[in-house]
Amino acid sequence: MPLLRNSIIPHGQRFWLATWVLVCLLGPAAARADAKDEADEVESFRCMTWNIWHGGREDGPEDGVRRVIETIQSSGADVVALQETYGSGEKIAEALGFHFHPRGTNVSLLSRFRIVEDISVFEPFKCVGALIELPSSRRIAVFSIWLPFDGDIWRPGTREGKSRQELLQVCQPSYVDLTELWRQIQQRLSDTRYAGIPIIIAGDFNSMSGLDYVQYAVDQYGVAVDWPTSRVLREAGFHDAWRECFPEVDRLRDRTWSPRFPDQEQDRIDFIYYRGPGMHAIQTERIDHHPEKFPSDHAAVVAQFAVLAATPEGLPLRAVSYNIRHGLGSDGAFDLERTAAVLGNLRADVIGLQEVDLATTRSKGIDEPEWLAERLGMQSAFGRFMDFQGGQYGLATLSRFPILERRVVELPTGNEPRVALAIRIDPDGHGRALWVVNLHLDWVADDGFRFAQAEQLHRFLQQLTQPYVLLGDFNDRHGSRTVELLSRGAIEARKPSGASNTYPATDPTIEIDFIFAHPASRWRVGFCRVRAARRTSDHRPVSALLIHRPEPMSAP
């Protein structure tokens, strides 16, 4: 139960993650002058994809292109995948001070960073590729693509009476082209000198996504469709940056078609896909506004990425904490498929879940830990609070790695019985095990029970001889004695200022869900974000990238 019972984070300037504080976006004032080693470990850049509509000249050759330039400038993008460039790319690049890499008339790449090699494949009108070198000398393969379609299912009335198969047929050309395009990209990058280089494929796909048209979003889209175009790259190990940062479907927020034609079907058809070791999407945003007039019929999509060193000194671990309210959404609907979809989009290594049911009546007799673990391809452990409605109620932890050991830590009973759940895992398979400890503390305003539970858990944590991650619903806030006690000696996966609240999900006003890692000398934080899920539960999920080092780091 809760203590009292995003939305798009505004973009900022391009930054380099010089310390774990910077990595958590606490601001440049906190950077240390001696943080070169950390800066060498994690780097950040922003990538945009945008179909600028007839070279941005739809509203005039001067004003339209100027608005395109101003929109890109204000986005803070470092690399831009353009479609419908149509002769405007050189002027835009010159105004931005970017390198310009065109191919044909349609697609092009603009980059703040040095372009070291052309890696284009497929038809010049539909694909351009470049190897881009970041300031750290890391290299990223970036492709700007445009895919065709057959017919119109976006103008008013064009979907009426059409079967699912007829809808799919309109987007079939995009599937055919993307399949061949990806085959050629693999062939082009097959040489060993490209091994381990992350890949971004961004552009106007002219097809929707099966991650959007899911069953739980039928109330938004009218039909569930597994659009095959969206499977091509996902099945090849790519991640949809937007859906990773916005794991819950929201058609109005997600749409990229069309800010200029609001009477048409509003869909997400512009994507940034990525894959590669050490690459993670931190945040994404959609841009569809200009103070005068937005110059395109497509919204722009911007993704900010963290890139770890090719051979990082530590092991990346993606951790999520989420009070799932047994699958009951803030909209009053019990929908565990929706819960699974949100968790799957977060692509975590370990997940701490609170308010979990095992075979209760209200959850339709489902063994929720096992059911979710099976859906996500993970292992599960359950910690029982109490018997409830013919089953059990408690918390659960899911792990992508084998669970070597499970311990249930009995806590003093408060307004309800409580336990903490600890699992031991070996993420790299080399015997360097660590613990993941999941908690859900007492919820009433008087913290007497809650602090007694924290004291008991703290005694258990002091006995652990291996590093641990502590996460969960603390039902308390920064500055409280509960959070202070449990965070001693640990590093916090700190959320950005102004975007840290986790409850209630519809409009968060308090921060009560946290992730810590102990001891601080063995961890760095890559990023931490509250992910925008308004309907799936009454809490929002917290996602963090932690970097675990096998040996303690020297003090500054």
What is the per-residue pLDDT for 310?
59
pLDDT surpassing 90 at residue 190: yes
pLDDT surpassing 50 at residue 11: no
Please count the other Cβ atoms lying within 10 Å of the Cβ belonging to residue 90.
Answer: 13
Containing domain of residue 320, as a range? 315-548
Residue 363 shares a structural domain with residue 256: no
Q: How many domains does the chain have?
A: 2
What is the per-residue pLDDT for 42?
77
Residue 211 shares a structural domain with residue 343: no
Residue 382 shares a structural domain with residue 254: no
pLDDT surpassing 90 at residue 249: yes
Asked if residue 213 is part of any domain, the answer here is yes
What is the per-residue pLDDT for 477?
97
Residue 273 shares a structural domain with residue 399: no
- Please indicate whether residue 447 or residue 39 has the higher confidence score (pLDDT): 447
What is the per-residue pLDDT for 470?
98
Segment 90-118 mean pLDDT: 98
The pLDDT tens digits of the residues spanning 466-490 come to 999 999 999 999 999 999 999 999 9
The pLDDT tens digits of the residues spanning 215-244 come to 999 999 999 999 999 999 999 999 999 999
What is the per-residue pLDDT for 86?
97
Segment 258-282 mean pLDDT: 96
Mean confidence (pLDDT) of the chain:
91
Domain end among 269, 300, 331 = 300
Rounded Cα–Cα distance for residues 458 and 441 (Å): 13
Residue 110 and residue 83 in contact, taking contact as beta carbons nearer than 8 Å = no
Residue 296 shares a structural domain with residue 327: no
What is the per-residue pLDDT for 431?
77
What is the per-residue pLDDT for 16?
31
Residue 247 shares a structural domain with residue 328: no
What is the per-residue pLDDT for 248?
98
Residue 367 shares a structural domain with residue 342: yes
- Three-point CA angle 193, 196, 201, nearest 5°: 100
Asked if residue 383 is part of any domain, the answer here is yes
What is the per-residue pLDDT for 41?
64
What is the per-residue pLDDT for 314?
80
Asked if residue 6 is part of any domain, the answer here is no
Rounded Cα–Cα distance for residues 461 and 457 (Å): 6
Asked if residue 251 is part of any domain, the answer here is yes
Residue 331 shares a structural domain with residue 428: yes
Residue 258 and residue 297 in contact, taking contact as beta carbons nearer than 8 Å = yes
pTM of the complete model: 0.91
Looking up tokens 């049911």, which residue turns up?
Answer: 357
pLDDT surpassing 70 at residue 346: yes
Asked if residue 76 is part of any domain, the answer here is yes
pLDDT surpassing 90 at residue 69: yes
Domain end among 300, 331, 358 = 300
Residue 294 shares a structural domain with residue 319: no
Question: What's the pLDDT band for 9 if we cut at 50, 70, 90?
Answer: very low
Residue 374 shares a structural domain with residue 456: yes
pLDDT surpassing 90 at residue 311: no
Domain end among 270, 300, 330 = 300
What is the per-residue pLDDT for 12?
34
pLDDT surpassing 80 at residue 342: yes
Residue 322 and residue 368 in contact, taking contact as beta carbons nearer than 8 Å = no
pLDDT surpassing 70 at residue 283: yes
Asked if residue 94 is part of any domain, the answer here is yes
Q: Where on the phi/psi map is residue 183: left (φ > 0), alpha (ψ -120 to 50), or beta?
A: alpha
Residue 70 shares a structural domain with residue 170: yes
Please count the other Cβ atoms lying within 10 Å of the Cβ belonging to residue 347.
Answer: 18
What is the per-residue pLDDT for 245?
97
Nearest to 275 by CA among 304, 246, 233: 233
Question: What's the pLDDT band for 10 if we cut at 50, 70, 90?
Answer: very low
What is the per-residue pLDDT for 141?
98
- Which CATH number does the domain housing residue 544 bear? 3.60.10.10
Asked if residue 36 is part of any domain, the answer here is no
The pLDDT tens digits of the residues spanning 167-178 come to 999 999 999 999
What is the per-residue pLDDT for 273?
98
Looking up tokens 């959850």, which residue turns up?
Answer: 363
Segment 25-36 mean pLDDT: 32
Residue 411 shares a structural domain with residue 533: yes
Strand partners, 285: 302
pLDDT surpassing 90 at residue 38: no
Asked if residue 359 is part of any domain, the answer here is yes
216-251 core/surface letters (b: 16 or more CB in 10 A; e: else): bbeeebeeebebbbbbbbbeeebbbbbbbbbbbbbb
What is the per-residue pLDDT for 40?
47
What is the per-residue pLDDT for 482?
98
395-414 core/surface letters (b: 16 or more CB in 10 A; e: else): bbbbbbbebeeebebebbeb
CA 456 to the chain's CA centroid: 34
What is the per-residue pLDDT for 7?
29
Question: What's the pLDDT band for 262 if we cut at 50, 70, 90?
Answer: very high
CA 86 to the chain's CA centroid: 32
